[in-house]
Amino acid sequence: FLMKLKVISTGSIGNAYILETENEALLIECGVNIMEIKKALNFDFSKVVGCLVSHEHQDHAKSFDEVMRLGITTYTGAKTIQFLNPDNFHRSMTIASKEIVRIGNFKVMAFDIKHDAVEPLGFLIEHPECGKVLFLTDTNYCKYTFPELNNIIIESNFSKEIIDRKFGAGSSKEFLRDRILRSHFSLENCKDMLAANDLSKVNNIVLIHLSDSNSNEKQFQKEVSNLTGKNVTVARKGLTIDFNLTPF
């Protein structure tokens, strides 16, 4: 049993992912009903070493309090904790940009990103079984590059071409287009980000948080695959994939 990535849910309806080995699991985001998280963990919470939360929006932090009620420690920015104001403060650990914390056998470094949230974070996660994993969502820009990545979980929310066509100048929904452009990672951003990083050791690229109406799953998968030559998967509810350090 090697490392697996489980997608509990992805997108604006809610985000929650699990990195899981035989004896430990790290929850990333808890933006779904707690029952969905419990089911995905087969009601066994003893192996969950922690839960990373990128920012306070409901589609990422909906079950923040309930997760802690299960005895799971959450890790997020100090301002995010203040904003969410949980009952279980003592189970909530702060992690600041550039800070590294050990969570079980996972080593996590947070980094700052751009989003309309109080202290949005991305995460670089390292574990002997999956190597270095980048988790990046809900941002319009990432100023960092990451050497020697093995697996990548990255937002590809919309295509600029699609939203320009739908919400062009003079459209009544121009404000929506602006928020999307300001707060989310487009296919174009995603491709630029991947092109800026050394992908020689990467096994998997998983595209997350695709918009229901402003994305095209087949096109996004194909374009990222053509650009990188890597195994590219579009996340969807219930998906489980092998997330190992080496390709085999």
Distance CA(137)–CA(183), nearest Å, equals: 9
Look at residue 1 in the predicted model and tell me its pLDDT.
67
77 touches 121 (CB < 8 A): yes
pLDDT tens by residue, 162-180: 998 888 777 777 878 888 8
Residue 217 has which token pair? 């799953």
Q: Which pLDDT belongs to residue 136?
A: 98
Q: If you average pLDDT over residues 119-135, what whole number do you get?
A: 98
With 70 as the cut, is the pLDDT of residue 205 above it?
Answer: yes
Residues 48-68 have a mean pLDDT of 98
* Residue 26 forms part of a structural domain: yes
Asked if residue 11 has pLDDT above 80, the reply is: yes
**Which of 118, 112, 117 has the alpha carbon at shortest distance from 99?**
112
Q: What is the pLDDT of residue 168?
A: 76
Which domain range does residue 33 map to? 4-242
Do the Cβ atoms of 24 and 127 come closer than 8 Å? no
Reported as a single tens digit per residue, the pLDDT across 225-245 is 999 999 999 999 999 999 988
Q: Is residue 32 in some structural domain?
A: yes
Q: What is the structure's pLDDT at 248?
A: 63
Structural domain includes residue 226: yes
- Name the residue among 185, 181, 183, 194 with its Cα closest to residue 223: 194
Q: In sequence order, what are the residues at sequence separation of 6 or more whose Cβ sits closer than 8 angstroms to the Cβ of residue 16? A: 8, 9, 27, 28, 29, 30, 31, 32, 36, 37, 40, 63
Indicate the pLDDT class of residue 10, thresholds 50, 70 and 90: very high
* CATH number of domain containing 13: 3.60.15.10
The alpha carbon torsion through 220, 222, 228, 230 (nearest 10 deg) reads: 110
d(CA 213, CA 166): 10
Q: How many CB atoms lie within 10 A of CB 16?
A: 27
Domain count within the chain: 1
Residue 165 lies in a domain: yes
Q: Is residue 247 part of a domain?
A: no
pTM of the entire predicted model: 0.96
Lowest mean pLDDT among 128-132, 212-216, 244-248: 244-248
Q: How many residues does the chain have?
A: 248
| Average pLDDT for the chain | 95
